[in-house]
Amino acid sequence: LLKTYLTDFLREDTYAASTAGLGYAYELTSKGIRLTFSGFSDKLPAFATTVAAKIAAFVPQDEAKLERYKDQISRDLAEFVNQQPYQKAGLFARLCTDAPSYLPPDVMEELKGVTFKELQEWTRKLWTEGFGEALVQGNFEEREALELMRKVEDSFQFKAVPPEKRATSTVVELPIEKDGYGLALIREELNPSEVNSAVMVQFQNPNQDLKNQMAMLVIAA
């Protein structure tokens, strides 16, 4: 909901910037919020600073839009039922090892009960504390990159959360079966008119060594 409100709120500013080749992305993930700024322009630092400041200060104000946004989000989530079986199988396979994780129907159900007051209160608390990491990539000198990050950081001014209190996503280790074919997760097809099915086979690598993990990605590619 917040992302939808924000997109609408920033549309005028970001549209003008997009015609100059500048863009931004605002994503909410299980690990937190990810902001991305991009573009081949010397105006990128100013654009990133301006948008970051507006995001940090934003609190939804138009309650009349809430139900319309809810309906829009619900319709997008409802499309999950009509996806191909292999697409659903891929999502199930990924979510069963990620924590926290939620299926689109669960999100739809939760969405119904969200009030405008709750959305405002949650938004006001969003930037009170946190932990941020940044990556600056491209034609920047170190001094310019650090200055850009300082300006973006100043926009949020949240209280730093100590390491032991930082929320992180985890990978759930699947149980090892001594006999048989391993662990089987069986889900009924949600679309009653769908006659096809899909099987997703997943092998989990328990080795946490970064070099080993990277080698697997290279081999898989």
Q: What is the number of other CB atoms lying within 10 angstroms of the CB of residue 48?
A: 23
Residue 77 to residue 169: CA distance in whole angstroms: 22
Beta carbons within 10 angstroms of residue 22's beta carbon: 20
Contacts 24+ apart (CB under 8 A), 148-152: 148/45, 148/48, 148/49, 151/45, 151/48, 151/49, 151/52, 152/35, 152/48, 152/49, 152/52
DSSP per position, the chain: -HHHHHHHHHHHHHHHHHTTTEEEEEEEETTEEEEEEEESSTTHHHHHHHHHHHHHH-----GGGHHHHHHHHHHHHHGGGGS-HHHHHHHHHHHTTEES---HHHHHHHHHT--HHHHHHHHHHHTTEE-------SS--HHHHHHHHHHHHHHH-PEEPPGGG----EEPPPPPPSSTT--------S-TT----------------HHHHHHHHHHH-
The pLDDT of residue 30? 67
Q: Is 119:2 a contact under the CB 8 Å cutoff?
A: yes
pTM score above 0.85: no
Q: Which residues of the chain have pLDDT under 70?
A: 30-31, 180-181
Which two tokens mark 47? 């654009």
pLDDT reported for residue 60 = 95
Q: State the amino acid at position 181 in one-letter form.
A: Y
Distance CA(29)–CA(36), nearest Å, equals 13
Q: How far apart are CA 80 and CA 121, in angstroms?
A: 30
- Find, among 204, 192, 15, 195, the residue nearest to 97 by Cα: 204
pLDDT digits (tens, 9 = 90+) for 86-108: 999 988 888 888 877 888 989 99
Q: Under a CB-based contact definition with an 8 Å cutoff, are residues 119 and 3 in contact? A: no
